[in-house]
């Protein structure tokens, strides 16, 4: 949400959420708000603006962030926790930074990124809602998800994903400001 005074706005969907919930509600609402922030930071931008890089030599862009976060959602919820054997979305063994490198100013690439991100966020939302407990675990032997190399609970995965978004929303603030000067609250 962009406001002239930087104060909360009544039309900001992040301001109207479940409060005083249990642990699952608290974690899922926090992640939902991070996801909404990503959408709001990218709202109204052209493909060219979405793909605009920060400063050289960085390949970071808002479009790259959408693609990267789709990869992170997929790797955490679909692959690690649900155990699905699915390929990566934008990266490969030969292009480990495909999420960033492939973020080019093409409306089809932007649409593909948003579709992938929404599909992964929707899957994760359903997975978490249907999980019998936040204590379910998956094995992360190579420490690809911050487990320290071993079992990781759904609870830990949610906290990790919230942290992943939070780090990148700071980047999104700077990228958006560079594009058109808009500041978020």
Best CA proximity match to 2, nearest among 178, 169, 177, 179: 177
Query: Taking all residues of the chain, what is their mean pLDDT, rounded to a whole number?
Result: 89
User: 61 or 2: which carries more pLDDT confidence?
Assistant: 61
- Please give the average per-residue pLDDT across 30-36, as a whole number: 95
Q: For residue 82, what are the CA distances in angstroms to 12, 111, 159?
A: 32, 26, 17
- Read off the pTM: 0.88
- Burial per residue of 24-55, b for 16 or more beta-carbon CB atoms within 10 angstroms, e otherwise: beebbebbbbbbebbebbbeebebebbbbbee
Q: How confident is the model at residue 1 (pLDDT cuts 50, 70, 90)?
A: very low
C-beta of residue 127 within 8 angstroms of C-beta of residue 138: no
Residue 130 has pLDDT above 50, yes or no: yes
pLDDT of residue 5: 59
173 upstream amide cis, omega within 30 of 0: no
- Separation of alpha carbons 11 and 1, rounded Å: 8
User: Which of the 8 DSSP states describes residue 76?
Assistant: I
Best CA proximity match to 61, nearest among 161, 168, 164: 168
Residue 90 has pLDDT above 50, yes or no: yes
- Please give the average per-residue pLDDT across 166-178, as a whole number: 92
């Amino acid at each position: 949400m962009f406001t002239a005074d930087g104060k909360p706005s009544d039309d900001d969907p992040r301001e109207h959420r479940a409060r005083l919930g249990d642990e699952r509600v608290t974690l899922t609402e926090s992640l939902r708000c991070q996801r909404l922030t990503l959408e709001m930071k990218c709202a109204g931008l052209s493909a060219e603006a979405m793909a605009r890089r920060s400063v050289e030599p960085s390949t970071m862009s808002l479009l790259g962030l959408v693609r990267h976060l789709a990869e992170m959602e997929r790797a955490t919820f679909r692959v690690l926790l649900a155990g699905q054997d699915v390929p990566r979305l934008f990266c490969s063994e030969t292009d480990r930074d495909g999420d960033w490198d492939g973020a080019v100013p093409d409306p089809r690439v932007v649409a593909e990124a948003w579709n992938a991100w929404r599909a992964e966020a929707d899957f994760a939302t359903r997975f978490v809602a249907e999980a019998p407990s936040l204590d379910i675990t998956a094995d992360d032997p190579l420490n690809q998800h911050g487990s320290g190399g071993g079992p990781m609970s759904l609870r830990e995965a949610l906290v990790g994903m919230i942290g992943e978004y939070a780090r990148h929303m700071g980047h999104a603030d700077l990228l958006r400001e560079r594009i058109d000067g808009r500041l978020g609250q």
